[in-house]
Amino acid sequence: MAIVGKSPEEIQQHLNRLLEYCNNWGLSVNILKTKNMVFRKRGGLLPSEHWTYNGQSIEVVNDFNYLGTVFNYTGNYALNQEHLTGKALKALNVLLCKCREYDLKPKILCQLFDAFVAPFLNYASEIWGYTKSKEIERINLKFCKRLLNVRKNTCTASVYGELGRYPLYVHRFVRIIQYWLKVVRSDNIITRTVYRYALSDCVIGKNNWVSNVRKLLSEFGFGYVFDNASVPNEKYFLCELKTRIIDCFRQKWYRSLDSPVLFLYKDFKTTFGYEHYLDILPKSLRLFFCRLRLSVHPLRIQTGRYNRNRIQRDKRYCLCCNRSDIEDEFHFICICPCFNLIRKKYIKRNYYIRPSVLKFIELLNSTNRQELIKLSLFVKEALCIRRTTLNIEI
């Protein structure tokens, strides 16, 4: 049971009525499991903010787990999100441990994540999920990066783009609006009364769940829906809302490709979507090709960005040859003479006899299984030769 009041006196009156009810019906309340929370911005309790039940004092707490959702006295859900991410992290570790036994395709693993881990992260998100929450998204990104076998600091945009996955807030926002439509149509007198009070507070400028719903709808161009508090076709509206949220994310994603880290990636990744090479290549070779595409490699075009004495982009020369070329992916695959022998073994002649960036992009976007396998083998062996040539320890 949850008892709510706007003043200490009102809460005490409710507790006295509860005691009277329990005495009439022969019921008892466990005081050790009964807690009280005073919602406030900050500071300690006032002298009047203490309560008793049947002569026993009730403990006042700063946070409480009610039906799986952690409420904090500030009204902030950050602690709840930490609670959910802790549960989701355990589920993710179990999932990854179990899936090691099987050679599952990345697309299947994504479906398993959505079925077994995402529900923890989205639990009761109809109430608290109106923010994008980096804490929640961190688990999703951790899974994606583990799936691609790339570093933790890999650019987020390329990870989303390679798997064709959207942030979890897309689903949360739709759930919030779906729940709001259910509340405004409800015939339950308690639900309608609570919503009416919350709407009144929203109108006078107070921040609550209803105001967050209004802000969410206005952000994606559906402010008129909040004003009307109804839609002719709920299913169609929710699909349109989800499409609008996804379109906004995609626009932001395309803008993020201007990052210097994704200088090559934006040339061959022209559409947002799942890359089929992830299902074509065997797991042992997939990581080499994936790291090449996402620029998660030891070539100087990337490592020159991170050194203490940062090297200008046009001076990140290849250390394996004397051509004074920038050691980027194009030079590494198609030009560098140190890899001529294995290049003839694995790469088709038309890609390196008269090399061009257009041909290189065509190679990276290839869907031919044998061509992709040979390219991955080239990357694997070429990196080994490079390591030996430069005498770099693993």
**Would you kindly state where each structural domain of the chain is located, as residue ranges?**
8-61, 78-165, 172-256, 278-390
pLDDT in single tens digits along all 394 residues of the chain: 899 898 999 999 999 999 999 999 999 999 999 999 999 888 888 888 899 999 999 999 999 999 999 999 998 899 999 999 999 999 999 999 988 888 889 999 999 999 999 999 999 999 999 999 999 999 999 999 999 999 998 999 999 999 999 999 999 999 999 999 999 999 999 999 999 999 999 999 999 999 999 999 999 999 999 998 888 899 999 999 999 999 999 999 999 998 888 888 998 998 999 999 999 999 889 999 999 999 999 999 988 888 677 888 889 999 998 888 999 999 999 999 999 999 999 999 999 999 999 999 999 999 999 999 999 999 999 999 999 988 864 4
Q: What is the pLDDT of residue 24?
A: 95
Neighbours of 204 (CB within 10 A): 6
| Residue whose token pair is 């500030």 | 74
Indicate the pTM of the whole model: 0.88
Q: What is the pLDDT of residue 248?
A: 96
Q: What is the pLDDT of residue 250?
A: 95
3-state secondary structure the chain: CCCCCCCHHHHHHHHHHHHHHHHHHCCCCCHHHCEECCCCCCCCCCCCCCCEECCEECEECCEEEECCEEEECCCCCHHHHHHHHHHHHHHHHHHHHHHCCCCCCHHHHHHHHHHHCHHHHCCCHHHHCCCCCHHHHHHHHHHHHHHHCCCCCCCHHHHHHHHCCCCCHHHHHHHHHHHHHHHHHCCCHHHHHHHHHHHHHHHCCCCCHHHHHHHHHHHCCCHHHHHHCCCCCHHHHHHHHHHHHHHHHHHHHHHHCCCHHHCCHHHHCCCCCCCCHHHHCCHHHHHHHHHHHCCCCCCHHHHCCCCCCCCCHHHCECCCCCCCCECCHHHHHHHCHHHHHHHHHHCCHHHHCCCCHHHHHHHHCCCCHHHHHHHHHHHHHHHHHHHHHHCCCC
CA distance 141 to 194: 37
